Every structure is written in structure tokens, then in C-alpha cells.
């Protein structure tokens, strides 16, 4: 095979790959726009979002994981609740609201064509930024 044919083949493969990456980026942007368009999801203090799409699985950000409890998540979102007892009704209401918003965000993404599954991933970057903001506020 000539050098020219090899070059053309490599360029076609590269163009297909770049197009595929562009499409995946567009898909993530489109899904996140759908989340922002929903009042319940958009008005919540934490913005659930699609981080990436792998095949038919959307990987979404979450404040909860096996390592991070709902209590930790909510006390980061609502620092004023830290001093309340765990049995306080505000904790129970906040837990229900977080669960409802996360479920709604997942349902919105699952309703999109090509997405059959959602996998939640801890938003460690959000926690890092929240910690930095809290430190900045305490210095003032």
C-alpha cells in the first residue's frame, strides 16, 4: 500500500474518532441542558449533572456514595443543620428532598434516547470546592 493511501486511511479513522468524541461531548451538554430546564432539579442547591456517557450508561454526579453519607452531603449543602440532632424533622425532610431531586435527575437522563442506565459517581470536586469556600468564609 502506498504512503498516500495509508495517510488517507489514518486521516479517515482519525476524523471518525474526533467526530465520535464531539458527538459524546454534545450528548453530555444536551443532557445537562435538560437537567437545567427542569425546575425541581435546577433549583436545588446542588446541581446534579452528567459527567460523561459510556455506551448507553450516563455517569452522573452525586453527593452520596458508600463512603459519603447523606448526612455528610446535607451538612455540606446546609451548614446551619449541623447542630440539629439526627432525628430532627428538618434532617428527614432534607433527606427526602435530596432523594427526590436525585431520582428526578436520573429519570430525566434515562428518558433520553440512547441512555439505558445511570451510574452515580461521587462529586469529589464539589466537596473540595465547598471546603475551600467554607475556609474562605471563615477567614472574613
The predicted model gives 53-81 an average pLDDT of 88
Q: Which has the higher per-residue pLDDT, 48 or 130?
A: 48
Whole-number pLDDT of residue 121: 94
Report strand pairing: 117-122 vs 57-62: parallel
Q: Where are the domains of the chain?
A: 3-138
pTM (predicted TM-score): 0.76
Tell me how crowded residue 49 is: count the other CB atoms within 10 A of its CB: 17
Cell of 114: 440512547
Whole-number pLDDT of residue 22: 53
Tell me how crowded residue 47 is: count the other CB atoms within 10 A of its CB: 16
Whole-number pLDDT of residue 21: 53
- Please check the confidence at residue 119 and state whether its pLDDT lies above 70: yes
Cα–Cα distance for residue pair 107/99, rounded to 1 Å: 12
pLDDT bracket for residue 4 (50, 70, 90): confident
Tell me how crowded residue 59 is: count the other CB atoms within 10 A of its CB: 17
How much is the mean pLDDT over the chain?
85
- Please check the confidence at residue 47 and state whether its pLDDT lies above 70: yes
Amino acid at each position: 500500500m502506498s504512503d498516500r493511501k495509508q495517510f488517507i486511511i489514518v486521516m479517515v479513522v482519525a476524523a471518525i474518532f474526533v467526530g465520535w468524541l464531539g458527538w459524546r461531548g454534545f450528548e453530555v451538554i444536551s443532557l445537562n441542558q435538560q437537567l437545567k430546564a427542569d425546575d425541581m432539579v435546577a433549583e436545588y442547591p446542588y446541581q446534579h449533572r452528567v459527567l460523561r456517557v459510556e455506551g448507553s450508561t450516563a455517569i452522573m454526579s452525586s453527593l452520596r456514595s458508600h463512603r459519603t453519607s447523606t448526612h455528610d452531603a446535607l451538612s455540606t449543602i446546609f451548614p446551619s443543620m449541623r447542630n440539629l440532632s439526627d432525628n430532627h424533622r428538618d434532617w428527614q425532610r432534607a433527606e427526602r428532598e435530596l432523594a427526590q431531586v436525585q431520582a428526578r435527575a436520573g429519570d430525566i437522563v434515562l428518558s433520553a434516547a440512547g441512555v439505558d442506565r445511570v451510574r452515580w459517581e461521587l462529586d469529589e470536586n464539589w466537596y473540595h470546592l465547598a471546603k475551600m469556600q467554607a475556609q474562605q468564609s471563615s477567614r472574613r
